[in-house]
Structure 1
Amino acid sequence: MQSIPTFDDLLADAKRSAVHLELRDSYYSNPRFEAWRQGARVDWSDRGTWWRPFHQQIADAVARGVVVRRARVVSEPVTDYIRWEHYVTHANVTSGEEVRWLPRRQASDLLVPGNDFWIFDGDIVEIHHFSGDGTFLEDEYITDSPTVGLCCDAFERVWARAIPHADYEIR
C-alpha cells in the first residue's frame, strides 16, 4: 500500500515549483481571523508573533530554488475573510511567496477547476475539498497527466491576468 504524501512532504520534495490556486471567498473560521474581526492587528515588526511553521517551510523551499506562487480569484466587493487574507498575505510575501489576486469578474472567460489546489513541480496536484461553509473536508492527490496538465494550464491563465499583491486594492 502506497502512503499518501502530506503537504509538508510534497513541499519538501519540490525541486522547481509549488503553485496554489484559491477560488473560495470564505474558508473555515479560525482564531486569528476572529481576533482580526474584533480589531486585533499583527505587529509586523515582531516576527516571532506571526511567523509560523508554514512560513518557514515556504522560506526553506524558496531558499532551495523553488518558485512558490499563489493566485486568488475573489469576488468584489470582497468578503471579510478575503479582506483578512489580504492583510495577512504580508506573511506569505515575507516568506518568499509571490501572490496575485484576480477579481472574479475578470475570470469569466477562464476555465478553472472547481476546487482549490496546489501543484508541485508540474507533476502532482493536491486538490482541497471544502464543504459549503468553508470547512476543510479532505485532500485528493492526482498524478494523471491530463488532469495535472489542465490544472497547470488553469493556474497559468489566472496568474497571467492576476494583479500582484502589492498592486491589488481591496474593494
Structure 2
Amino acid sequence: MTPTYHELLTSATVSAVHLEMRDVYTVESEQQRIQAWRDGHRWDPADRASWWRPWLDLIVETVGRGVDVRRARVVSEPVSEYIRYSHSYAFTNVAAGERLRWLPRRRASDLALPGNDFWLVDGRLVLWNHFDGDGRPTGVEVTEDPAAAKLCASAFEAVWERGVDHEDYRPA
C-alpha cells in the first residue's frame, strides 16, 4: 500500500527531502488559487489565518519532532508562470519550518538527477511522483531500494549545495 503524504511525513524520524524538477504542475486543487493569483491576489505574510492550511500544520508537526524538512526546486529561466506563482506563496512553507532552495536549471547541467520528482524519507524510503506531459499527477511509486535511495540522496544534496535560499532567489 502506498503511504499518503501525511503518513510519509509522520513516519520520518530524521529527514524528509523533496526534489521538484518540473516547470509546470497542473494540480486540480491549486487551480482556484492560481486564478486568484493571476487576478492579482497575493497573500499577506502578516495575515497568517488567510493562507495557513493543513499541509503547513503537518510541516510544523514534523519539524517540531526534530525532522529536517527541505525542498529544492530546479527551474528553467526565465521561469514559467507556474513557478512565479509558486515562488510567490512559498514563504508559507518557510514559515511552517520547511527549508527551501531554488536552482536555475542551467546550473544543474552537470548533475546526475533522477527522471522524476521525489520525496526521500530518512535516507531510505523514496516516493517517486509521476506526472503526465502537461504536469498532471499520474500516481506515485514507493521503493526502499538502497541504490535508488542513494541516487536520490546524492542528487538532492548536489542541488541543495548549489541552490539559492528562498529569501535570496528572485525568479528571472
TM-score (norm 2): 0.96
Distance 1:126 1:54 in 2: 17
For residues 22-42 of structure 1, what are the alpha-carbon distances to aligned partners after superposition, in whole Å with 9 as ceiling and x for unaligned? 000011052111110111111
Identify the residue that residue 26 of structure 1 maps to in structure 2: 24
Identify the residue that residue 10 of structure 1 maps to in structure 2: 8
For residues 13-54 of structure 1, what are the alpha-carbon distances to aligned partners after superposition, in whole Å with 9 as ceiling and x for unaligned? 110000000000011052111110111111222212111110
Paired letter, 1:54: W
Identify the residue that residue 67 of structure 1 maps to in structure 2: 68
Distance 2:102 2:153 in 1: 17
User: Deviation of residue 6 (structure 1)?
Assistant: 1.4
User: Deviation of residue 163 (structure 1)?
Assistant: 0.6
Q: Any runs of at least 4 consecutive aligned residues in structure 1 with deviations exceeding 3 A, and if so which?
A: none
The CA RMSD over aligned residues, in Å, is 0.9
CA contact (8 A) 2:17 2:121 kept: yes
Identify the residue that residue 48 of structure 1 maps to in structure 2: 49
CA contact (8 A) 2:2 2:141 kept: no
Paired letter, 1:83: R
For residues 54-110 of structure 1, what are the alpha-carbon distances to aligned partners after superposition, in whole Å with 9 as ceiling and x for unaligned? 001001111100000000000000011001111110000000010000000000000
> Gaps (5+ residues) in structure 2?
none
Q: Trace 1:106-145 onto structure 2 (pairs within 5 A).
A: 106-145=107-146
> Gaps (5+ residues) in structure 1?
none
User: Deviation of residue 135 (structure 1)?
Assistant: 0.6
Distance 1:73 1:168 in 2: 12
Paired letter, 2:24: S
User: Deviation of residue 4 (structure 1)?
Assistant: 2.3
SS of alignment partner, residue 129 of structure 1:
strand
SS of alignment partner, residue 62 of structure 1:
helix
Distance 1:4 1:135 in 2: 19
- Please state if 1:101 is matched with 2:102: yes
Paired letter, 1:44: P
Paired letter, 2:54: P
Distance 2:69 2:98 in 1: 5
Paired letter, 1:24: R
